[in-house]
Structures are given as C-alpha cells and as structure tokens.
Structure 1
C-alpha cells in the first residue's frame, strides 16, 4: 500500500523508468489529440450553429498547436518532475478548451443541443487510467478536474442544478475508477521492475540494472560537470569459504554483505548491486574521491564487526577488498569500471581487507597485482 500511496518509497532509478513511460504515453496521446482537435473542425461544420463555428475552430486550432508543442518537448524524459509537469499541462490544455467551448455554447443557447462537448471533462478524467500514477497524484489530478468543472458551473450560474450535480458526481466516480486503474498500473510496473532489476538472492540491483544505471549516471554527471564515483567490492577468499563450508553458508554471507551495502547507501541517491558471484558494485552520484573513500572505509569497518552463524553452527566473519574510481573528464562508464577493477586488484595485492583509490600511477601496476593475487593460495573465511 505504501509503495503506491506516494513516490516517497520509490528509488530514483524506478522514478526514471516511470518518468520515461509517462513521457512516451503523453507523446502518443498528444499526437492523437492534436489530430482529432484539428480534424474535428469538419464535424463541427455539420453540428454547430454558424455563429460559433469560427470561435470554436480557433479554440481547436490553439489547443492543437499547444498539444503539438507538448509533443515536441523532449527535455529530460527521465525526470519525474518534468513527466508530471507534462501530464498537468496536457490536462490544462484540454480543460482550457473545454471551458472555452462550453462558455461559447452556453452563451449561444446550444449547450445541450450539441453532442460531445458536455462529455469533455469525463474524457479528461478517464485519461488517468493510461498512466502509472500514485494515489496522491491521482487524487490531485481528479480534484483539479472537478474544481475546473465546479468553477465553470459557478461562472455560468448553473451550480446546484440537478444536471450539474450529476456531472460532478459522475466525475468523482470516474476519477475513482480511472485512479484505481492508474494505481494498478503502477503496482504492476513496480512488480515487473523488481523482477527485471533485482538479484534474487540479495535483493540488490542485478548486473544488468547496475550497468544500465552506471551508463546513464555517467552521462548525466558528464553533461553537468558533476562528480561520480564507484566502489567495486570483492569478498575476500570467498571461493575457499564456499569449498569448505558449502554454498548455503556462502549465501548467508552474501545476504549479510548486501545488508551492509544497503545500509551504507545514501537513501535513494546511491545504487548498490550484485555484479556477479561475490563481486558487488555501488554507484555514488555526486561523490568525489574523498567521499568515496569514506564510504569504503565504513563498509570495511562494518564487515570487520559483523559475525554470521552458518548452517554448521559455526560463527564466522568476513572482510572485503574495494576498488574505487572517480569519473575523469571525457571518461566513459566502461573506462571508469576498468579503473575500479584495476584498483581492486591493487587492494587485494596489498593484503586485502581494505580499499584503493584508482589513480594514474596505478595503471602500470594493475596487471602485476592481478597476477600476484591469482597466484595466491585461497584461504578460508573464518572468524
């Protein structure tokens, strides 16, 4: 229930996914409505009285142009604030045309004689069913549409009449139905998102999600000149531990380490994920090398202080080695990841249970460190 109530519990990565989906659906809807708005002028020639055909056609033309402008608004499709702004602008354009046409029809005395126009607000509120929205967002949009209808009734001195009360009641009912459909869409999207992006064992992001998000975050940081760092983790001597205590014990250690990473992450800003096997990766947007080193030290300390009980009844501890890399000018996500991997090998070569910040002086020694680590006899992970 809390997941669909508001966006407070959503990560920024899910919000980006939802934002792009809303962006795509608004573009399709604005295209269809822009065509219908202008094309319906021909139908109005048959249905409307001659004296109001021109002003309503003007209203259709203006709203059609506004819809096309919204269609070609490409800026920041992954930003939820922009996505919701697009949705409210779409509703505002349609509501403005509805109010304009209703006032003209009422003034001409043809409000109830022309088919279609009196159903415009109901069409607007039912469009909510197309979008994955939270309960709060649905409630706000429905309230705004009902308020616009109420203001229109007051301005035309028709408020309190039976037909108008029925319209408000019907708007509320349709808002509840459409809102229920929109919230269900959000719930299904959350479920599919978690299945597609979560590691089944640890509950962290899976490798695919981590790589996709790293590429997007690097591009975002590069465009805005911001810092971004990554931490690449490897549990020390984990293969030897699995050989001696079994994979069930290894899974317990992996789950416990995932809890440490989740606790260390800065709310919805950071992304921690399982990179593969005993390797993990955390993305730290906005963090420079110093901040990344502090985060790495916190993880190392937490690992040293943690003990877990395995199926054999023994209590064991574990440590981790960490490679840190901070984005450099003109660097791609793959290059950033490569430098973090080189720093990880260096951290292992220096005795494990520590971290290393990648730097220019590390490049030449990375291959030597990797060979040194590979040649070492794996030891057990014991308390």
Structure 2
C-alpha cells in the first residue's frame, strides 16, 4: 500500500471512528434524558435537524443556526437536536443509525442532498414526519420547503447587469446540483433582460466541484474569481456557500464588485459587496417550528421567494451612494417587472 493510500485509509477510519463515537454519546444523552433540560411540564415534541454539510462558515449554515436559536427561544416545547454529517456515500447509513437511537417525531434535513435520502427512508419510518428544506422531495410522505432559486439568481443577475461597466460579469457555482443550476438560469435570464449597453452581456461561468465539497473551498473561490476579474469581469455572483468567502476576498484584493449570497455579507468587504441575496432560511425554520409547536403542520409543499419575503436584498448600506439612486432603483424594480 502506498503512503498516499495509507493516509487516505487512516483518514476514512478516523472519520468513521469519530462518527460512531459521537453516535455513542448521542445515544447516551438520549437515554439519560432530554438534550436540553427544561423545567416546563409541557408535552415534549422531539425533532432532529440534519444540518447543511460543510464548513460552519457557510452563510447558509449560519442562517439555519439563527432560525434554530430563535425557534428554541419561542417554542421551548420542541426539543431539537442538531447533527452535522460528513458527506460521503454512507450518509444514508449514518442517518438511519441516528434515527435508531432516538424517538424523534420530526426528522428535518437542510440541504438538497437530503431529498433523495429522505425519499428512500420515509416509508421505513411511518411514525416519523420527514421534512426537507431547500429541496423538493418526490416521496409524498416527505414535506418539502424550498426556495425559488431561479428568482434568487435573477436578483443577483439584475444587480450585476446594472452595475457592470465592462459588460462582462461572472457566475461561480459551488456544485452542479439543481439548486445552483437554477441560480445560474435565473442569473442569465436577468442579465439578458436587464443589460444596460447595446451589446449582450458576456457571462463567465465556472463550477468549483461536482459534489458538495464545492461549498467548503474558499481557496478555489478565490482562484476562480481572481481569474474572472483578470479576464475583464467587474462584478461576480458566487452561489457557493463558504467558497464564496474566497471570491469576496478576491474582489477585495482587486477592488472589484461582488454580490453576496444566503446571508447579509455586505460588511465582509464594505464597498466591494454591492448587496447580498439573502435566503431567509431563518424565517423558514421559525415558521416550521411554529407549525410543529401548534400541531398544524400541513403536508403541502411550501416555496419561499421574493413575493413572500423568503428572498430579500440586503440594504446596500455600503454601496447605495456609490452606485447611485438610478441604478439602485432599477435593481429593485427589476423584481417587479420580470
């Protein structure tokens, strides 16, 4: 066995050892009592959240944490645990192991990769309610809560089309899954409709990875964004989770523009992040928690978008005066005229 193969084998064994050690602790905690002890005598509602895969610096993960913390305060009768999984081919096995050691009434996955797993698992656990967020499941026993990612991409594309002076803009995707492909399709549609010059906008597009590791690679985000800026782009949109932080760093170093994603990233590089397309995952989780607490969770799918405040622009607090009122108004108005 080569040194590289041995190193990889040790890494895999270490990850699996850590996982099953965590599972043992998790099971012990459940047998000992609730994960979050409370004095309330209210009937307890148990839920388990499988969190977004990847870096904790992912803005999508941060928005999820905000929603869960507020929900925990508003609805203390829900005892929710969080699980952060390492993404590999055995995710389904890990989830089944977790479900075997706790009597969770609600099983919630945040991220498109959970849709297929829950589709396959839901029939085997008829007494649990499966919910996937930011994806559309096929199994009718899985409730879907998703976002209009085409519309989110459209928002970013409208901003880029109004801001660019080189008529060349960039799109960086974390991975080639349906969520990000929808982002790019919306981005391109807005660029085609919102262009300010006589020529069509040129769009440079690149994806970091085929899989979810593309959401946790800031170095690649920096490298790809830097190359796009060097090729003439003056504004980029990176729908790439924590990898987008690298793209923001590239914009900061080159004094170029970029559009943030998922959370308000304007203050990471003031004056360079023109605005952020905020996916209100926090509100989606709070609304879900309210429905669970009040025992009125409907089976129908829910889609959040610009029209129901599921998607919003950040406040342009560092750039509104810089880009001017006219361009600002055109960006906002584009969402009412598309």
Q: Give the alignment's TM-score, normalised by structure 2.
A: 0.28
Q: Give the alignment's TM-score, normalised by structure 1.
A: 0.25
State which structure, 1 or 2, has the greater radius of gyration over its C-alpha atoms: 1
More strand by share: 2
